[in-house]
Amino acid sequence: MISLGIGYILDLIFGDPQGFPHPIRLLGKTINSIEKRLRKNCDNQHSEIRAGIILWLIVVGISFIIPYVILFFVSEINIVAAIIIESIMNYYILATKSLKDESMKVYYTLKQNNIIESRRLLSYIVGRDTEDLDSQSIIKATVETIAENTSDGVIAPIIFILIGGAPLGFMYKAINTLDSMVGYKNEKYINIGRFSAIADDVVNYIPSRISANLMIIASYFLKIDYKNAYKIYKRDRFNHRSPNSAQTESVCAGALSIMLGGNNYYGGKLVSKPTIGDDIREIKTEDIKRANELMYATSLICLIIGLVIKIIL
């Protein structure tokens, strides 16, 4: 409990400083390295699927075991040192401020009418093609990624840390990172990334729904349209290829009275998607700030409720 609270505060203060060593970046390099080694023995669809399962087991296993062993031995020596180390681990796991910082970079370039730079910055945080997006499409994409990652990058990690400390938090980050790196349905990853994509959907099934409901509560405290947030959530929470992504996106769309989703290009190919929310008003640059406020409020509510439950139990 103490280490989670400290880690959360450290994340709000420092975020993810550029050029500073980060275990999640190391995790990404590890995934790339193991994937390349496993691919050498793949010569058909079944061997690629098998390699994908092995990749998942290795990465997820070491992501849990390493922090667990470190904390176990340090706690045997000095419990205060263990709390400090776990606080730093939790700081690395959470991504509240970094999500806000990266999305606000897009916000500031849009305010300066620098659409070329906005597209470039957006490409770092979304998977869709950004080269031809207009300003409204850039805003929409930014709001969508804030809403979706409120669950993946903030609420779900808090939930897993509350359940099993930093080791389980790192395990979740490994599952999420694997999906973001290999969980694509293109020719390269359709087989080797299949297990990672399915596992991510399963692991995020409950956290995404908890996140959506916490976001509705946050909408109430922020005095925005929580009633419409609930209405759109009930109606559009499955309007996405993923069973989880539209959970928080629908709440955000309803709370801000805007329309999200719709068709987009990925790797030059048009992908048809249903819309989320109603086109009550035109989406504006300020909606990026509002989405971040909603994300911050949701994370704080999650932390408070989680810690209260831990105290009671």
| DSSP state, residue 213 | H
- Residue range 44-69, pLDDT digits in tens: 999 999 999 999 999 999 999 999 99
Range of the domain at 167: 2-312
What letters, b where the CB count within 10 A reaches 16 and e where it falls short, cover 222-250? Answer: bebbbebbbebbeebbebbebebbbbbbb
Q: Report the C-alpha gap between 219 and 266 in whole angstroms.
A: 32
Q: Report the C-alpha gap between 27 and 44 in whole angstroms.
A: 27
pLDDT for the residue 242: 87
- Residue range 155-169, pLDDT digits in tens: 999 999 999 999 999
- Number of C-alpha atoms within 13 angstroms, CB side, residue 258? 25
Backbone φ and ψ of 285, nearest 5°: -55, -35
The residue with tokens 């399963």 is 202
Count of domains in the chain? 1
H helix runs in the chain, sequence order: 2-14, 23-39, 45-77, 79-93, 96-111, 115-122, 135-149, 156-182, 194-221, 226-236, 245-256, 286-312
- Read off the tokens for 9: 């505060």
- Those residues whose C-beta lies under 8 Å from the C-beta of residue 170, and which sit 6 or more positions away, are 23, 63, 64, 66, 67, 89, 93
- Read off the tokens for 93: 């796991």
- Residue range 151-202, pLDDT digits in tens: 999 999 999 999 999 999 999 999 999 999 999 888 889 999 999 999 999 9
